[in-house]
Amino acid sequence: MARVPLLEEKDHPELAETIARIKGARGGRLINIYRLMLHSPALANAWFDLNQAVRYGTEIDGQSRELAVIRVAILNDVEYVQQAHGPAYALKEGLTPEQVAAVANWPPSKLFSEPQRALLAYTDAMTRDIDVPDDVFGGVRKYFSERQTVELTMLIGAYNMLTRFLKALKVDPEPPAGRRL
């Protein structure tokens, strides 16, 4: 259970415009992340804009994006993001169920391409150590343009922020479709 109560849409008509904007991009749902963030509408709006940009306004391919997001969630032990991105978004982007399962222990896996391995190593360094070794950075630059490198770095940083937010406030994963807790 979240440490701060999740807002109920019906109780906050003053947030109707913001909620409509969020729901419009989230398949008509007001997910728990935003039900919590809406305690601060300015921050909810800022996160929404940043999240949309790092996920959909870049030159990063969907598989790379989802590998980075899932790996950050695993490293930070945040079930919310693992559940949302593993089965739904990652598979939609063309990752296999076997690849999604292997992200937790990717180094020995043969399921990832060299660019994907470089991305996962970069994600690990940014998330675990913050200071990225030159060889790890060089691996990313071998496969990703300057723009893509900046975009990947922002994506990984943004999801580190989000997962830490979710972990600190103990936000529960979404209930299964059609069921409200």
| Main-chain dihedrals φ then ψ at residue 77, nearest 5 degrees | 55, 55
Would you state the pLDDT for residue 176?
Answer: 63
Question: Is 62-168 a domain of CATH 3.90.950.10?
Answer: no
Each domain of the chain, given as residue ranges in start order, spans: 9-56, 62-168
Mean pLDDT of 119-139: 97
Other CB atoms within 10 A of residue 83 CB: 14
Q: Find how far residue 91's CA is from the centre of its chain.
A: 14
How high is the mean pLDDT of the chain?
A: 93
d(CA 90, CA 67): 7
Q: How far apart are CA 108 and CA 112, in angstroms?
A: 10
User: Which ranges of 128-174 would DSSP assign to H, the alpha helix?
Assistant: 134-143, 146-168
Distances (CA, A) of 129 to 39, 104, 123: 32, 17, 10
Q: What pLDDT was estimated at residue 156?
A: 98
Instruction: Give the residue-averaged pLDDT of 82-90.
Output: 83
Q: Taking the CA of residue 112 as centre, how many other CA atoms within 13 Å lie in the half-sphere pointing to its CB?
A: 23
**147 token code pair:** 């723009």
pLDDT > 70? residue 178: no
Does position 179 have pLDDT exceeding 80, yes or no? no
Give the pLDDT band (50/70/90) at residue 82.
Answer: confident
Question: Is residue 66's pLDDT more than 60?
Answer: yes
pTM above 0.75, yes or no: yes
Structure confidence by residue, pLDDT tens digits, 1-18 = 899 999 999 999 999 999
pLDDT (tens digit, 9 = 90+) per residue, 9-43?
999 999 999 999 999 998 899 999 999 999 999 99
Query: Residue 163's pLDDT is what?
Result: 96
